[in-house]
Amino acid sequence: MKKRREKVIEAGLAFSAMLTILVTLGIIWVLVSESFSFFAEVSMWDFLTDTEWTPLFTRKHYGILPLLTGTLLTTGIAIMTAMPFGLIIAIYLSEYAPKGLRKRVKPVMEILAAIPTVVYGFFALTVVTPWLQSFIPGVDTFNALSAGLVMGIMIMPMVSSMSEDALYAVPKSLREASFGMGATRFQTAFKVMVPAASSGILVSIILAIARAVGETMVVAVAAGQQPVLTLDPRSGVETITTYIVQVSLGDVQHGSLEYKTIFAAGITLFLFTFLLNLASYYIKKRFQEKYE
Amino acid sequence: MNRLKINRLIDKAFQYVGIACMSIALLILAIFMINIFREGFTRIDWDFITSLPSRKAAKAGILTAWTGTLWILGLTAIIAIPTGIAAGVYLEEYGAKNRLASIIEVNIANLAGVPSIIYGLLGLEIFVRLMNMGSSLLAGAMTLSLLILPIIIVASREALKAVPKTLREASYGLGATKWQTIWYQILPAASGGILTGIILSLSRAVGETAPLIVIGALAYVPFVPKGPMDEFTVLPMQIFNWISRPQHDFQVNGAAAIIILLVITFVMNGVAVYFRNRWQSRINW
């Protein structure tokens, strides 16, 4: 009797764990099946090479390139902001800062990470964009630069705290050996510690990229909704995520081709983040330096 | 200047670069907060909290938004907490060595990296269409539950991992079964860490906007939801709606609602950190 009860409980727990696999399968099934019927009407070649994306207009074009460049542009700006700042802060905290500071900075980082993303969108639109307009000519009300910069501020805590964890995991003996050889803190940091923690630092950057690619609210609020093929950061762009939001806010019939476009856009987004996550997982497993 | 002096100079210079970068980050955070408070603080009053949304910015309030957020919070908690803890217990206590558990583990790591808007697409197709829930509170809560499940599972596992083996062995030694050991010994001992993870994940759910937009949550809801099948809006949706409008008065409303949302998330995070510290300092294995 007791044994049976134990078995039933175990089965229940196992089912909960299995649910996570169902979620993954569900995501893949939903994206693939809807995209499949999308690609029955639009050729894959057009989707990948057409330079216009106008599914909501009368003259319809289904080229993903404008959305892709919009996404890559905002992501690129975000990473260029987050990476140098995040890494310098991580190195400073682990190699230079007094011991107590690390403990006091962590909660501040956690606060930054807890702020809902729509709030960052408001910041981009009402503070950063007017500031950019004050000294760069030709900045639109909605622009990739402002959204990208704010997204960079948003993911910076992620880069710095993960990189710092990676630096922290390097054994102290390495640092002491370097000091013993007469190296300065700067030399120790960049010639010993950063190389030793390189896989962890790389993973933090890859995950930050994945986060920026999938980020929605900042770009939906501040980057605009014009799917134009441009790399000019001063102009408005539309990212994949913004497009999905734009369609969701409108009145689109279930089963129509417009409805299916959000899944075609979604699967593109999913593939990107999936590959980035896979890469980070592989690097973590394969290249992590093991110290005894 | 010799080599040694140059090296020392570079060393010192980098220290100031580091301090500068940290100060800039803090400065941005400060500008950010001051700006929002200056814009929105004077707009917050009792009417703002108890009024229905309106086309006129000065009369609009956030009653439907915060009640919607409370509903979502409650329903998501009911769905996600038991499921997440159960999955965590299974992975940590039962499936330690089998192949399925390792697949599930990789899968959870991957799910944590899936953009939230993709969960919205999943919820739209499965809950809203296939299960015919419509754009209801329940559909929203289910979608957000799936989104925060990986966070709760990982936090539960970390907390369970921290419980020492001796506790288990003592329980088995007294003749307890595996489940009795987990239920009466291990889970209570790990409760602080699990609680921290739960609160943090729920605070994430409170701030999510994108998946709810995709499943069709409304920007304008003129009534307070009465049951889980009602249509709804939440604070972040209301904020998004207001700040997307060009009129300055709506921007002010947005800033005011942002202050309320920030207070909610900061309080939740503060409580989580408090529990974590208390749990870590009190229990010394």
- Inter-residue contact B60 to B43 (CB < 8 Å): no
Secondary structure, 3-state, B210-278: HHHHHCCCCCCCCCCCCCCCCECCCHHHHHHHHHCCCCHHHHHHHHHHHHHHHHHHHHHHHHHHHHHHH
Q: Are B156 and B194 in contact (CB under 8 A)?
A: yes
| Closest alpha carbon within chain A to B135 | A248
Residues in CB range of A42: below 8 A, 6 or more apart: A62, A257, A264
Strands, E, within chain B: which ranges?
Answer: none
Q: Point out the residues of chain A with pLDDT beneath 50.
A: 292
Q: How far are the Cα atoms of A110, B197, B244 from residue A115, in angstroms, in the given order?
A: 9, 17, 19
**Contact criterion met (CB below 8 Å) for B128 and B216:** yes
- Give the nearest chain B residue to A187 (CA atoms): B11
Q: What tokens does B119 get?
A: 């969960």
Asked whether B85 and B194 are in contact (CB, 8 A), the reply is yes
H or E segment at B156?
helix B137-161
Q: How many residues does chain B have?
A: 285
Q: Which residue from B83, B177, B209 is facing A217, i.e. has the nearest CB?
A: B209
The answer to whether B137 and B69 have CB atoms below 8 angstroms apart is no
* Cβ pair A53, A130 in contact under 8 A: no
- Does the distance separating the beta carbons of B122 and A27 come in below 8 Å? yes
Contact B18 A91 (CB under 8 A): yes
Q: Tell me what pLDDT residue A1 has.
A: 63
**What CA–CA distance (Å, rounded) separates B147 from B201?**
9
* Angle in degrees, CA A20, A206, A175, rounded to 5: 115
Alpha-carbon gap, residue A217 to A154, rounded angstroms: 12
Determine contact, residues B96/B89, Cβ cutoff 8 Å.
Answer: no
Q: Given this model, what pLDDT does residue B56 score?
A: 80
Asked if B262 and A115 come within 8 Å (Cβ–Cβ), the reply is: yes
- Residue A138's pLDDT is 86
| CA A144 – CA A123 distance, rounded (Å) | 14
Chain A's closest residue to B7, CA to CA, is A184
Find the residue in B nearest to A8 (Cα).
B179
User: pLDDT under 50 in chain B at which residues?
Assistant: none
Asked if A14 lies within 8 A of B94 by C-beta distance, the reply is yes
Smallest CA–CA distance, residue B41 to chain A, in Å, is 15
B113: phi then psi, degrees, rounded to nearest 5: -95, 0
User: CA B108, B112, B115, B121 torsion: positive or negative?
Assistant: positive
- Pick from A93, A122, A214: which is nearest to B115 by CB? A214
Distance CA A177, CA A273 (A): 39
Task: Look up the pTM and report it.
Answer: 0.91
What amino acid occupies position A153? I
| pLDDT per position as a tens digit, B221-264 | 778 888 888 888 999 999 999 998 888 889 999 999 999 999 99
List Cα–Cα distances, B239 to B33, B129, B209, B253, in angstroms. 16, 27, 10, 8
A246 and A153 in contact (C-beta within 8 Å)? Answer: no
List B231's β-bridge partners, or say none: B136
- Cβ-Cβ contacts under 8 Å, B212 against chain A: none
Strand, helix or coil at B209?
Answer: coil
- 3-state secondary structure at position A215: coil
CA B125 – CA B69 distance, rounded (Å): 22
Q: Which residues of A touch B83 (CB under 8 A)?
A: 16, 19
Hey, how many other C-beta atoms are within 10 angstroms of the C-beta on B34? 11
